[in-house]
Amino acid sequence: MKPAWDKLSKQFADNSAAGVYDVDCTAAGKPLCDSNGVRGFPTIKYGDPAALEDYEGGRDFDSLKKFAEENLKPRCSPKNLDLCDDDQKAEIEGMMALSDADLDAGIAAKEKELEEAEKTFKSEVEKLQKKYESLSKEKDAAIQKVKDSGLGLMKAVAAHKA
């Protein structure tokens, strides 16, 4: 992925509206990575630097370039109200009117929702894994029972008769 990323970075080097950057999360960039939830490498994030989102697309150059061309541009935000429609402006104005404490509480509540979604997902996947393991053991036992009941001998006799 590194060659594709470097190529993309060069293509966006002169773009004043969007940038493509590397951050070393094991060195000076560690605080930035920690504050943005980077847990594995390589991780690709995009969007407003104050609210980065996870990139889940392809890691080849063509996929990265297509995504960048379609998404790496100024978007509606408090800094770019001129890019917002009336509903978005009203939502931002409502949030701007909140006290810092209320805004922090709202952020904390939404982050808790994200954590709960992740917790539920992991729990359900764990249940599925246990069910998969159980079904796999049952299948293996059933196959072995059929084989032990003479299937191989039957096939050998059928081949011999033919």
- Burial-class residue 65 by CB neighbours within 10 Å (0-12, 13-18, 19+): middle
Residue 34 has pLDDT above 90, yes or no: no
In this structure, how many other beta carbons lie within 10 angstroms of the beta carbon of residue 106?
Answer: 12
Residue 16 has pLDDT above 70, yes or no: no
The pTM assigned to this predicted structure is 0.57
Q: pLDDT tens, 151-160?
A: 999 999 999 9
Percent share of the chain, pLDDT over 70: 99
Domains of the chain in sequence order = 1-73 (3.40.30.10)
**What average pLDDT does this structure show over 138-144?**
96
Percent share of the chain, pLDDT over 90: 51
**In which residue are the tokens 């993309």 written?**
8
**pLDDT band, residue 107 (cuts 50/70/90):** very high
- Separation CA 133–CA 68 (nearest Å): 41
Angle 20-77-92 (CA atoms, 0-180°, nearest 5)?
155
Which range among 10-14, 19-23, 80-84, 96-100 has the greatest average pLDDT? 96-100
Tell me the Ramachandran region of residue 54: left when phi exceeds 0, alpha when psi lies from -120 to 50, beta otherwise.
beta
In this structure, how many other beta carbons lie within 10 angstroms of the beta carbon of residue 145?
Answer: 10
Q: pLDDT tens, 43-92?
A: 888 877 777 888 888 988 999 889 888 887 888 889 889 999 999 999 99
**pLDDT band, residue 149 (cuts 50/70/90):** very high
What are 9-15's contacts with CB under 8 Å, separation 24+?
A: 11/65, 11/68, 12/68, 12/72, 15/72
- Separation CA 25–CA 28 (nearest Å): 7
